[in-house]
Structure 1
Amino acid sequence: MNDKLSKDFFDKAIKSVSEIDIEAFAQIRSIYQLSQIGIVNENPQLAYDFARFIEYCDIKLGNYDKKGFPYDDGLVGIGNIDKSSMFPTLCRWHHRNVINLGGSIITLLKKAMEIGYIDHITASSLLPLKTNYNWQSLEDLYKMIIARIDITGKTEIKNKFIKFNEGEAAFAASNTNIATYKTKFWVATGGKMSRIIKGDFASLESNIYNTPFIQGESSQGIYSIDFYEDKFGIAVGGDYTKQDANVNNIATTNNGGESWQIQASGKNAGYTTCVKIKPGSRGKEIISVGDQHISYSSDFGKTWKKISDEKGFYVCQWIDGNTVVFAGKDKISLMKLKF
């Protein structure tokens, strides 16, 4: 078989697979559209059969490109046919690695609220704490929940939602802008405003506190935080467009994040992306890293010593009392410290 003939067969095989994709997707969307017209009587068996058909299509497509697979249309269609089948189907698909639960739970919560299967209190309790999926849908869901709160008049639940100011965001920082201790959590923000969100998973209460940190521009603010238990905390950051700027870019708290004191302003190595308290030091010893430096403090963050000019590290983690691991683009390194 020559190269040209081989290519012809390959192209035909790809086309046939694509046609299978299109046909399967069209069938799923067709059933979804029919269900949108209205189902007179709920039909759990039909909902189950539809769910199994979607799962069968997913299995048959195997490792082929599933971009555009109408999973969410399928879930909504299942809800239209039998609302009690939506959540069990999502859980079953997640368990069988058909879809990621976090990617579709928002669609399901919106649908369940629209048809009156769950109320806004239940929907808010099932909101994902962290998701990288469907931000527009998540915003729409928040609006639905808040609108229902306004209708019921029970506005106290609004205190469980945090409203960001315009231009305020959370820097990625390898997720080190988040810290936890037992049921408490803290989230640092930056940009136009740099604040600390403090919440409690047990009570679902939250508060937000202003900080004296550098802020006001999209590149400024707190990038990383760490806490020793629930009182002492350290925050670092700066301005990633001005690596050497070292004013108001380090702060500490002794009351669980309610108030912050600037430390070593003008006397540190500059922009910092990650900070970690040494285990067992009760917050006294701290390591930090930025694009241009590795720094160390032995007095609760009041003063800092640059211990390395190594560039390109973004995150750090203590392995034990004398060993720290650093990671950056395409590299990982271990540092042994002697005290």
Structure 2
Amino acid sequence: MTVWFFRDDTYGVAIGDPVGGCLSVIQTTDGGRHWTKTPCTTLPPIAAGEAAFASSNSCVSVKGQQVWMASGGQKARVFHSADVGKTWSVADTPIRQGETMTGIFSLAFADAQTGMIVGGNYDKPDDNVANKAITHDGGKTWQLVSGGQGPGYISCIQVVPGSKGKGWVTVGATGIHRSDDAGQTWHLLSSVSDLYTVRFASPTVAYAAGRGKVVRLTFR
């Protein structure tokens, strides 16, 4: 499993399954020509049964000097670096966890302080309790939002460009949803349930991809 994210033309980070007691993290500063592995002595130790999910390629995010990585399984935590991967800390989250297919499947940040984590239980796709949480302090603490409301299992979340952290779009087992109030309430846009990832091309156009399909989404 590998998940990667490029901040710009030079800096990128990729993460993989735990090896040697920590997540496998490699970084590049030259656009991918050369990669350096982060030693486990620098990273927080992984818990037994904790890993990172690759389904949406969105369990890692970069904003400026800030890097975040999300985990699932027996633990649902957010790993954070404030200095482009030189040092790391880790924060517990209230997202559903404790089973093989539970935890954080996707995270996204509007800026260095405001971000959302989503996921839930892949084996219980309609369960929408404890599967969405928000931070306003850069990932140090997380608060659940819209418990028992909105989408069930979520594969991917993205912030709506220009929304200042108010607008979010998700894809997952219960369809495509949008929130315009920082995750407090959600609107079902489509019941298409086999989409795994979504990315914005502009504030009004996004593309979602899944099993044998790519869908263009246009927002007013």
TM-score by shorter chain over 0.5? yes
Q: Distance in 2 between matches of 1:306 and 1:168?
A: 31
Tell me which of 189, 196, 201 is aligned to 1:314.
196
The CA RMSD over aligned residues, in Å, is: 2.3
CA contact (8 A) 2:120 2:154 kept: yes
CA contact (8 A) 2:152 2:173 kept: no
Identity of aligned residues (%): 31
Partner in structure 1 of residue 47 of structure 2: 165
CA contact (8 A) 2:119 2:132 kept: yes
Higher helix share: 1
Q: Distance in 2 between matches of 1:174 and 1:205?
A: 26
CA contact (8 A) 2:52 2:71 kept: yes
Q: Deviations over 1:202-238 (max 9, x none)?
A: 4711100000110010110110000012100011101
Higher strand share: 2
- SS for the counterpart of 2:56 is helix
Tell me which of 8, 14, 18 is aligned to 1:130.
14
Q: What are the equivalent positions in structure 2 for 1:183-262 lying under 5 Å apart?
A: 183-202=65-84, 204-262=86-144
Q: Does 1:268 align with 2:150?
A: yes
Partner in structure 2 of residue 178 of structure 1: 60
Q: Distance in 1 between matches of 2:49 and 2:195?
A: 27
Q: Distance in 1 between matches of 2:211 and 2:150?
A: 24
CA contact (8 A) 1:179 1:186 kept: yes
* Structure 1 unaligned blocks of 5 or more: 1-127, 143-156
Quick one: structure 1 residues 327 and 189, their matched pair in 2 at CA, closer, same or farther if it must change by over 3 Å?
same
TM-score, L = length of structure 2: 0.81
TM-score, L = length of structure 1: 0.54
Q: Deviations over 1:152-178 (max 9, x none)?
A: xxxxx9762221000111011332000
CA contact (8 A) 2:67 2:84 kept: no
Structure 1 residue 130, shift from structure 2 partner: 3.5
CA contact (8 A) 1:159 1:206 kept: no
Quick one: structure 1 residues 311 and 202, their matched pair in 2 at CA, closer, same or farther if it must change by over 3 Å?
closer
Q: Which runs of 4+ in 1 moved over 2 A?
A: 128-132, 200-203
Q: Deviations over 1:32-59 (max 9, x none)?
A: xxxxxxxxxxxxxxxxxxxxxxxxxxxx
Quick one: structure 1 residues 163 and 198, their matched pair in 2 at CA, closer, same or farther if it must change by over 3 Å?
same
Quick one: structure 1 residues 308 and 169, their matched pair in 2 at CA, closer, same or farther if it must change by over 3 Å?
same
How many residue pairs match? The answer is 193
- SS for the counterpart of 2:163 is coil
